């Protein structure tokens, strides 16, 4: 996708007239890169579509789309909390979740939550954003503005409307937008010879942060981190009659053929819910980051915060988060937390405490095999090199040998041979002293 965008930008920046050495537009009219026929006419009546969707026309240089605004008041509920609880201020620890944004000074002045629906899910030059939605807080209210293509020829109007919002934004927030939404829009702006307004706009993709907070690390039973899943598990918000994402392209093409607005009304609702829930999930994640592990309701959140604090160099809060997560009823989460805690303690030179944490992993039922093996190996190393308990180290090494194969088995054999020599040497020294 990036290579395609780069090639398109190079084409756009080429001289317009043949033989021109610079971008002198007086050499001739600007050559359009694409011609998009209005395939929707005459089935779709733009004014009627706008009226039925509760929106209005947006016209730009012969291109038209539909703009629909919806507003949530501060006291309106979305899941467990009202909208005013989802407003984000400058004190929120955004850099904890994305260190790249640490240098952005005024990121909170105009946060725009962004999501698109497209004619295909694979991206590429033929994928059009049939619907682009933006949401933002203003004076306690949350507004969602959607730009809908009643036909492909309205794309330039859609891009113009988005550019106005992006130009006024201080931060763009998406859900998987770094790999899908933003690259798709970059391609569309390039195709239409338009400057990409998101190029210099700070961007926070909430999906990686969600995976750290609500995923299950290396667990084989990885929890779903789709936005709709987090709506249910975190926000306690349940959609009724939602349009599945896979149905959206077919519904749009049916609308283009028939002009039946009822086929795409649910698509607009789906997009609105995505944007409001994106704002809510983002605000909740930032609140957890500020309050710390004591404010978490789920052990996965405590484990995730621990990893975030550890990455940020805050060892004290990371240790606190891991210790709380280690008390989880879910043995797999507890094992992961103990393993992370043990590594943290070892790095700070607290070797005995680290060994107790590793031993805690082995005392759990149902911990992942990889984590259990990590604990056994760490205890073998501790008993050999720290505690100087060679017999104990040999027991752990023998357990490793039963589980190992190939190169790992040869490594363990070398360790066992070394331990045998150390045990014999220690026995001989004891006999001489005795």
Domain extent for 420: 334-433
Whether residue 178 is contained in a domain is answered as yes
* pLDDT value, residue 431: 83
> What percent of the chain stands above pLDDT 70?
87
Angle (deg, nearest 10), helices 369-381 and 390-403: 150
Whether residue 303 is contained in a domain is answered as no
Are 129 and 149 within 8 A, CB to CB? yes
Rounded CA gap, 229 and 235, in Å?
Answer: 9
**For residue 102, what is the DSSP state?**
T
Which of 273, 288, 303 is the C-terminal boundary of a domain?
A: 288
* pLDDT value, residue 24: 41
- Residues 365 and 253 occupy one common structural domain: no
Q: Tell me: pLDDT of 20 over 50.
A: no
Cβ neighbours of residue 266 closer than 8 Å, sequence gap 6 or more: 241, 242, 243, 251
CATH code for the domain in which residue 234 is found = 3.30.420.10
- How much is the average pLDDT of 298-303? 94
- Residues 110 and 242 occupy one common structural domain: yes
* pLDDT value, residue 124: 62
Q: Tell me: pLDDT of 12 over 60.
A: no
- Residues 251 and 388 occupy one common structural domain: no
| Closest of 242, 248, 208, 215 to residue 228, by C-alpha | 242
pLDDT confidence tier of residue 25, bands split at 50, 70 and 90: very low
Tell me how many domains the chain contains.
2
- How much is the average pLDDT of 340-359? 96
Whether residue 329 is contained in a domain is answered as no
Whether residue 316 is contained in a domain is answered as no
Least confident of 106-120, 158-172, 364-378: 364-378
- Residues 117 and 184 occupy one common structural domain: yes
3-class SS of residue 313: coil
- Residues 341 and 279 occupy one common structural domain: no
Pairing verdict, β 63-72 and 171-174: unpaired
- Residues 234 and 353 occupy one common structural domain: no
Please, what is the Cα angle at 193 between 192 and 196, to 5 degrees?
95
Which of 253, 270, 288 is the C-terminal boundary of a domain?
A: 288
Side-chain-side CA neighbours of residue 128 (13 Å): 20
- Residues 130 and 269 occupy one common structural domain: yes
Whether residue 338 is contained in a domain is answered as yes
| b/e 230-261 (16+ beta carbons within 10 angstroms → b) | bbeebbebeeeeebeeeebbebbeebbeebeb
Are 336 and 303 within 8 A, CB to CB? yes
- How much is the average pLDDT of 107-133? 89
DSSP code per residue over 376-399: HHHHHHIIIIIS--HHHHHHHHHH
Angle (deg, nearest 10), helices 262-291 and 248-258: 150
- Residues 58 and 127 occupy one common structural domain: yes
pLDDT confidence tier of residue 217, bands split at 50, 70 and 90: low
pLDDT confidence tier of residue 4, bands split at 50, 70 and 90: low
* pLDDT value, residue 10: 58
Helix (H) or strand (E) holding 180: none
For residue 160, the tally of other CB atoms under 10 A from its CB is 18
Rg (CA), the chain: 29
pTM, full prediction: 0.85
- Residues 282 and 342 occupy one common structural domain: no
Pairing verdict, β 81-82 and 111-118: unpaired
Whether residue 321 is contained in a domain is answered as no
Q: Which residue has the higher pLDDT, 434 or 19?
A: 434
Question: Residues 67-89: pLDDT tens digits?
Answer: 999 999 999 999 999 999 999 99
- How much is the average pLDDT of 121-127? 69
CATH code for the domain in which residue 353 is found = 1.25.40
For residue 59, the tally of other CB atoms under 10 A from its CB is 13
Q: Tell me: pLDDT of 28 over 70.
A: no
Whether residue 294 is contained in a domain is answered as no
**For residue 167, what is the DSSP state?**
H
Q: Is the peptide bond before 432 cis (omega within 30 degrees of 0)?
A: no
> What percent of the chain stands above pLDDT 90?
76
Are 284 and 234 within 8 A, CB to CB? yes
Q: Find tokens 């060892």 and name the residue.
A: 315
Which of 288, 313, 342 is the C-terminal boundary of a domain?
A: 288
Pairing verdict, β 141-148 and 63-72: antiparallel
Question: Residues 37-76: pLDDT tens digits?
Answer: 444 444 578 999 999 999 999 999 889 999 999 999 999 9
Mean pLDDT of all residues in the chain? 88
- Residues 8 and 101 occupy one common structural domain: yes
Least confident of 21-30, 259-268, 397-406: 21-30
- Residues 262 and 343 occupy one common structural domain: no
Exposed, middle or buried by CB within 10 Å (0-12, 13-18, 19+), for 175?
Answer: buried
Whether residue 352 is contained in a domain is answered as yes
Angle (deg, nearest 10), helices 299-311 and 315-325: 160
Q: Tell me: pLDDT of 34 over 50.
A: no
- Residues 273 and 385 occupy one common structural domain: no
Are 199 and 41 within 8 A, CB to CB? no
């Amino acid at each position: 996708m990036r290579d395609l965008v780069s090639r398109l930008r190079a084409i756009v920046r080429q001289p317009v007239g043949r033989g021109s050495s610079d971008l002198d537009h007086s050499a001739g009219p600007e050559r359009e890169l694409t011609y998009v026929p209005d395939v929707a006419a005459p089935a779709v009546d733009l004014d009627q579509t706008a009226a039925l969707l509760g929106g209005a026309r947006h016209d730009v240089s012969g291109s038209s789309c539909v703009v629909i605004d919806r507003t949530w008041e501060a006291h309106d509920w979305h899941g467990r909390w009202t909208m005013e609880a989802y407003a984000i201020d400058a004190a929120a620890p955004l850099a904890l979740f994305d260190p790249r944004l640490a240098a952005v000074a005024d990121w909170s002045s105009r946060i725009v939550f962004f999501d698109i629906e497209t004619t295909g899910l694979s991206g590429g030059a033929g994928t059009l954003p049939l619907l682009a939605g933006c949401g933002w807080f203003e004076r306690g209210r949350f507004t969602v503005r959607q730009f809908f293509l009643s036909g492909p020829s309205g794309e330039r109007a859609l891009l113009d409307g988005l550019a106005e919002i992006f130009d006024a934004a201080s931060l763009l927030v998406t859900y998987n937008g770094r790999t899908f939404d933003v690259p798709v829009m970059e391609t569309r702006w390039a195709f239409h010879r338009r400057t990409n307004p998101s190029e210099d706009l700070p961007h926070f993709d909430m999906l990686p942060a969600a995976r750290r907070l609500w995923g299950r690390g290396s667990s084989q039973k990885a929890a779903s981190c789709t936005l709709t899943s987090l709506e249910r598990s975190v926000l306690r918000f349940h959609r009724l009659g939602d349009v599945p994402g896979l149905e959206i392209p077919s519904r749009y093409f049916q609308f283009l053929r028939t002009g039946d607005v009822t086929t795409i009304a649910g698509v607009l609702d789906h997009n609105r819910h995505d944007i409001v829930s994106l704002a809510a999930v983002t605000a909740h994640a930032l609140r957890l980051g500020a309050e710390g592990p004591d404010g978490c309701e789920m052990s996965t959140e405590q484990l995730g915060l621990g990893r975030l604090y550890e990455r940020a160099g805050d060892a004290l809060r990371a240790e606190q988060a891991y210790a709380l997560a280690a008390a989880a009823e879910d043995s797999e989460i507890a094992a992961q937390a103990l393993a992370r805690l043990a590594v943290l303690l070892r790095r700070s030179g607290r070797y005995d405490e680290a060994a107790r944490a590793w031993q805690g992993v082995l005392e759990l039922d149902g911990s992942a095999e990889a984590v259990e093996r990590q604990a056994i190996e760490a205890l073998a190393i501790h008993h050999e090199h720290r505690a100087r308990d060679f017999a104990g180290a040999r027991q752990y090494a023998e357990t490793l040998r039963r589980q190992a194969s190939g190169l790992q088995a040869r490594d363990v054999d070398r360790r066992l041979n070394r331990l045998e020599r150390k045990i014999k040497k220690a026995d001989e020294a004891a006999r001489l002293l005795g």
